[in-house]
């Protein structure tokens, strides 16, 4: 179904066990991914999973969005890891994401798309907009032939702002350990 033509009545509502509560049709094949994320991380009340063109382009190319180049991205999203490929509708799609979920709010799904989490639907969607905007800007910078990254001192100042705002996701490649 085209998301542009969806109405509230088109939504499928399920409980935390995947049992359909309301709606026409069947839940998404990726419902289990959403449910596992809700179970794994308290405070996440919304998952936004899309296939935006620039972010998905990086996911298809196998390139994570981990360059520290835009302060608003560093502050709001932190690190955006590339999650290994997994078949749609299977555990292999979301299992590699779960260990990263503790410290990250945005993810690229290899050869698939992007995913963000938030306290509510607006928070998760806002993060997705930032992710796609960042991917677009980074794509343009790479086409221009130069990507200037923030230095250690600049990153320390941004890390202090993240702490001040109570944001949990990590910066740099710390999410791997």
Q: pLDDT tens across 139-158, in order?
A: 999 999 999 999 999 998 99
Q: Retrieve residue 14's tokens.
A: 């399920």
- pLDDT above 90 covers a percentage of the chain that reads 73
Mean pLDDT value of segment 36-52: 95
Spans of all domains in the chain: 9-176
Phi, psi angles (nearest 5°) of residue 137: -65, -45
Catalytic (active site) residue 30: yes
Architecture per CATH, domain 9-176, reads as 3-Layer(aba) Sandwich (3.40)
Neighbouring residues of 96: CB distance < 8 A, sequence distance ≥ 6: 83, 84, 86
H or E, element range at 157? helix 152-165
For residue range 103-145, list pLDDT tens digits in order.
899 999 999 999 999 999 999 999 999 999 999 999 999 999 9
pLDDT value, residue 46: 94
pLDDT digits 0-9 by tens, 14-35: 999 999 999 888 898 999 999 9
Q: Which position among 26, 30, 129, 132 bears the catalytic label?
A: 30
């Amino acid at each position: 179904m085209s998301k542009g033509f969806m109405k509230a009545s088109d939504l499928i509502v399920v409980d935390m066990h995947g049992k359909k509560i309301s709606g026409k049709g069947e839940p998404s094949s990726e419902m289990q991914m959403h449910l596992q994320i809700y179970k794994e991380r308290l405070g996440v009340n919304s998952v936004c999973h899309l296939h935006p063109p620039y972010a998905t382009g990086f996911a298809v190319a196998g390139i994570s969005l981990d360059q520290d180049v835009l302060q608003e991205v560093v502050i709001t999203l932190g690190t955006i890891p590339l999650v290994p490929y997994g078949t749609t509708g299977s555990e292999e799609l979301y299992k590699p994401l779960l260990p990263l979920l503790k410290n990250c709010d945005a993810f690229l799904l290899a050869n698939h798309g992007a995913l963000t989490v938030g306290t509510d639907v607006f928070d998760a969607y806002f993060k997705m907009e930032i992710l796609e905007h960042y991917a677009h800007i980074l794509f343009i910078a790479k086409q221009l032939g130069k990507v200037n990254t923030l230095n250690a001192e600049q990153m320390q100042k941004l890390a202090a702002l993240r702490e001040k705002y109570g944001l949990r996701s990590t910066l740099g490649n710390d999410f791997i350990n």
